[in-house]
Amino acid sequence: MKENEKERFMPGHGACAGCGAAIAMRAIGRAAGKNSILTIATGCMEVVSTAYPLTAWKLPIIHSAFENAAATASGIAAALKHQKKKTNVIAIAGDGGVFDIGLQALSGALERGHKFLFICYDNEAYANTGVQRSGATPLGAVTTTTPAGKHDSIEFKKNMPFIVASHAGTYVATANIAFIDDFENKIKKALQSGKPSYIQVFTPCTIGWHINNNDTIRLSKLAYQTNIYPLFEIENGIIKLMENTSKIPIENYLNMQGRFKNLGKKEISEIQKDVDKNYELLKSLNGKKIFLN
Amino acid sequence: MKNKKEFAAIITEAGNSIKNKTGSWRTMKPIVLKNKCTACGICAKFCPDGAIIIKNKKMSVDYEHCKGCAICSVECPSHSIIMKEEKK
């Protein structure tokens, strides 16, 4: 059972079949090691993993309210600093708990420079409460609060990694569950760096995005190949882009998902233009110092 | 506070969700073709439920917890996992 000793997110949790975020949680458990304390904000992964009196975690975990995962983590980090203990502190929250509700607590904790890692599993909606639009929902996506027609999501996705990287002395990375070893390495790197860190991981939601249960990883791979979710790291203000040479049109990614069914050819070509512009910008910045800290 | 448990909702047993047998959710069952499987472990990493066990270079499925999402079947590079309808 050598392989299974590393597992710290155990079977029996209540996530949907084919859940992307559950794959990310397992990777976090493996990469963090047993010398870790977790705090999870309200959201899918808090609800499915710790339904009283059962817990899927083999690590100590504190349940935070929706907005204050970062505040709880900074409290844990401060207490450990006082006790002179070297324990990893990891806060986990969904995109709703980071992009919208938890933003000010996260900003405060990063600004104070607490040694902790904040992981955002980005499923691009409030999936736990029935798929409402969040700050992470991309342009054109259908959610229950942005139904198809003239009301579908007309807002762009918030550029959260750059907002976090604007804080001095942070390590920021984006990850994808299709590249699970890369994600684990980024977690280890963030924990070893001793800086306030932020990792945003792309995790498809089968129910919210109207995809087949078995398409989770295939879709994640396409998100990287079509450049809609570029992978990069920002360390010491320098951005490093994981370059992508496969030029797959965005149509392949959008057509797999029911939430983009309402889009016509015109809208798809507009999204393609936006994605290309964004990727070209990132490519021109690659290797350069973009933040002075 | 005589008892720690009265103070707050504290779960003292780590990883006890394993008691929750989520295998009953399954409609499609993964079957491993043992002659094709190389036990590379890709399915084990991508399983959302940790229901794939690789022990002594042999792969097996934990049917008590497998929810039947079929990610393993799609991602298997040697196509050695097939999905069959669950029968009771």
Pairing mode of beta strands A171-176, A197-202: parallel
pLDDT confidence of residue A154: 79
* Chain B residues in contact with A206 (beta carbon < 8 A): 69
State the Cα–Cα distance between residues A217 and A215, nearest whole angstrom.
6
Count of the separate structural domains present in chain B: 1
> Which among B61, B59, B39, B58 has a CA at the least distance from the CA of B50?
B61
Query: Which residue among B13, B51, B55 places its CB closest to the CB of A11?
Result: B51
Has residue B9 been placed in a domain?
Answer: no
Range of the domain at B26: 16-85
Closest-CA residue of A relative to B67 is A17
Cis peptide before A53 (omega within 30 of 0): yes
Has residue B3 been placed in a domain?
Answer: no
A11 touches chain B (CB under 8 A): yes
Q: What is the complex's ipTM, to 2 decimals?
A: 0.90
Mean pLDDT value of segment B1-22: 78
How many Cβ pairs closer than 8 A exist between chain A and B?
Answer: 115
Residue A259 Cα, gap to closest chain B Cα (Å):
20
A268 touches chain B (CB under 8 A): no
Question: What is the residue-level pLDDT of chain A in tens, covering all 293 positions?
Answer: 444 678 899 999 999 999 999 999 999 999 999 999 999 999 999 999 998 889 999 999 999 999 999 999 999 999 999 999 999 999 999 999 999 999 999 999 999 999 999 999 999 999 999 999 999 999 989 999 998 877 777 788 999 999 999 999 999 999 999 999 999 999 999 999 989 999 999 999 999 999 999 999 999 999 999 999 999 999 999 999 999 988 899 999 999 999 999 999 999 999 999 999 999 999 999 999 998 87
* Chain A residues in contact with B30 (beta carbon < 8 A): none
Residues A258, A259, A262, CA angle at the centre, nearest 5°?
A: 90
Distances from the Cα of A239 to the Cαs of A88, A134, A245, A287, B64, in angstroms?
A: 25, 26, 18, 5, 45
Q: What is the DSSP string of chain A?
A: -HHHHT--B-TT--PPTT-HHHHHHHHHHHHH-SSEEEEE-SSHHHHHH--TT---BSS-EEE--SS-HHHHHHHHHHHHHHTT---EEEEEEEHIIIIISSHHHHHHHHHHT---EEEEEE-SSBTTTT-B--TTPPTT---SSS-SSTTS--SPPP-HHHHHHTSTT-EEEEEETTSHHHHHHHHHHHHHHTS-EEEEEE---HHHHT--GGGHHHHHHHHHHTTSS--EEEETTEEEE--------HHHHHHT-GGGTT--HHHHHHHHHHHHHHHHHHHHHTTSB-S--
Closest-CA residue of A relative to B20 is A12
> Which among A113, A141, A111, A114 has a CA at the least distance from the CA of A127?
A141
pLDDT confidence of residue B3: 57
Sorting pLDDT into bands at 50, 70 and 90, what band is B12?
confident
* Chain A residues in contact with B56 (beta carbon < 8 A): none
Has residue B39 been placed in a domain?
Answer: yes
Q: Which two tokens stand for residue A34?
A: 């047993």
Q: Is A143 in contact with A137 (CB distance < 8 Å)? A: yes
In chain B, which ranges are E strands? 28-32, 52-55, 58-61, 81-85
* Chain A residues in contact with B45 (beta carbon < 8 A): 23, 26-27, 180-181
Has residue B2 been placed in a domain?
Answer: no
Q: Which two tokens stand for residue A82?
A: 């006082």
Has residue B8 been placed in a domain?
Answer: no
State the Cα–Cα distance between residues A107 and A113, nearest whole angstrom.
10
Distances from the Cα of A221 to the Cαs of A12, A156, A157, A206, in angstroms?
A: 27, 22, 19, 15
Has residue B32 been placed in a domain?
Answer: yes
Query: Which residue among B17, B46, B73 places its CB closest to the CB of A23?
Result: B46
Has residue B51 been placed in a domain?
Answer: yes
State the Cα–Cα distance between residues A131 and A139, nearest whole angstrom.
15
Has residue B23 been placed in a domain?
Answer: yes
CATH code where residue B60 lies:
3.30.70.20
Q: Is A215 in contact with A23 (CB distance < 8 Å)? A: no
Reported as a single tens digit per residue, the pLDDT across B57-88 is 889 999 999 999 999 999 999 999 999 998 87
